[in-house]
Amino acid sequence: MPREKITLGFIGAGRVGTGLASGFARAEVEVLAVASRSVASARALAKRVPGARACAPQEVADRVDIAFLTVPDDAIAAVASSLRWRAGSACVHCSGAADLDVLKKAVADGALAGGFHPLHMFGEAGESAGALAGCAIALAGPDMLVEKLERLARVLGAKPLRLPEGGRALYHAAANFSGAFVIALIQETISLWGKLGIAEADALAALLPLLRGTADNVERLGAAGGLGSAIARGDAGTVRRHLDVLARVAPDSLELYRILSLRTIPLALAKGTLKPEAAKEITALLEKSIVKSVD
């Protein structure tokens, strides 16, 4: 729990606004006011959060110590600029990529500006308020605000992650590789297995245990230690078979396979199961395949 009593408000009653406001309310942090573009969304959120009142965005800025702007990234600057901010209060956005300059109107009015980005994919507005337990929350802002945001992150059971000024876009772009792009890769397998007549539901049932096992291995052994694959074993013949079949049956997937394989080689070398000679042979195969695919 925060040491001193902090009152919170939310502008934007979508997935993140609902998840955070309900999580804080459940942890007995006072959420006084919620607003959104539509009154209906604000009311729906207020119903979930004991003690919160649905109101206009200006009332949120007027009443609370920390106002979270949980609106789409492209609306943050416009919403922050449309309000008057109280000196000493704080205006905090939840975008992973936007820097704090989008909140410059709040700073000009004497408020503090901060960032509070939960590293979590919110599926829908109604998801469990406890979903953030164990997740990282990336913070930014002046020290006196970040200290409060750190305590609020811990109240949700999450782990605060402090980002250097100007680092949010890189942090967020990089996080895609472990989040949304994993889904894109799952879809790649589903599509390729579809060519073998495997239905999506059956593919998912087979792939999810693989995904969970992979995450477990990485948790236990680290990124290099958790690696398993033909490349990790130094099995050049298998890589050649993969390249051949993709070139024939799914040439659109060849480049992706090639790039990811090249990125896997340093990991396999670090693990120690791929020997430098085999790494050279596999690299040559992968580089040759680009020439072929261009031809």
Ligand X SMILES: NC(=O)c1ccc[n+]([C@@H]2O[C@H](COP(=O)([O-])OP(=O)(O)OC[C@H]3O[C@@H](n4cnc5c(N)ncnc54)[C@H](OP(=O)(O)O)[C@@H]3O)[C@@H](O)[C@H]2O)c1
Regarding 55 and contact with ligand X (CB under 6 A), the answer is no
State which amino acid sits at residue 152: L
Complex with ligand X: residue 25 or 227, whichever CB lies closer: 25
**Any bridge partners for residue 41, and if so which?**
none
State the Cα angle at 227 between 224 and 230, rounded to 5°.
130
Nearest 10 degrees: CA dihedral of 111, 117, 121, 126?
A: -30
Q: Given candidates 73, 109, 127, 147, which one binds ligand X under the rule CB under 6 A?
A: 73
State in angstroms the smallest separation of the CB of 90 from ligand X: 16
Within 8 A by CB and 6+ apart from 275, the residues are 234
Complex with ligand X: residue 58 or 293, whichever CB lies closer: 58
Q: Given candidates 79, 100, 149, 254, which one binds ligand X under the rule CB under 6 A?
A: 79
SS3 101: helix
Site for ligand X in 219-238 (CB under 6 A): none
Regarding 121 and contact with ligand X (CB under 6 A), the answer is yes
DSSP strand pairing (136-140 vs 159-162): parallel
Regarding 250 and contact with ligand X (CB under 6 A), the answer is no
Complex with ligand X: residue 6 or 45, whichever CB lies closer: 45
Q: Given candidates 7, 15, 109, 224, which one binds ligand X under the rule CB under 6 A?
A: 15
CB 115 within 8 A of CB 153: no
Residue 100 phi, psi dihedral angles, 5° rounding: -85, -10
Among all residues, whose Cβ is closest to ligand X? Answer: 14
Number of residues that bind ligand X (CB under 6 A): 26
- Provide the binding-site residues for ligand X, judged by CB under 6 A: 11-17, 36-38, 41, 57, 70-73, 75, 79, 94-96, 117-118, 120-122
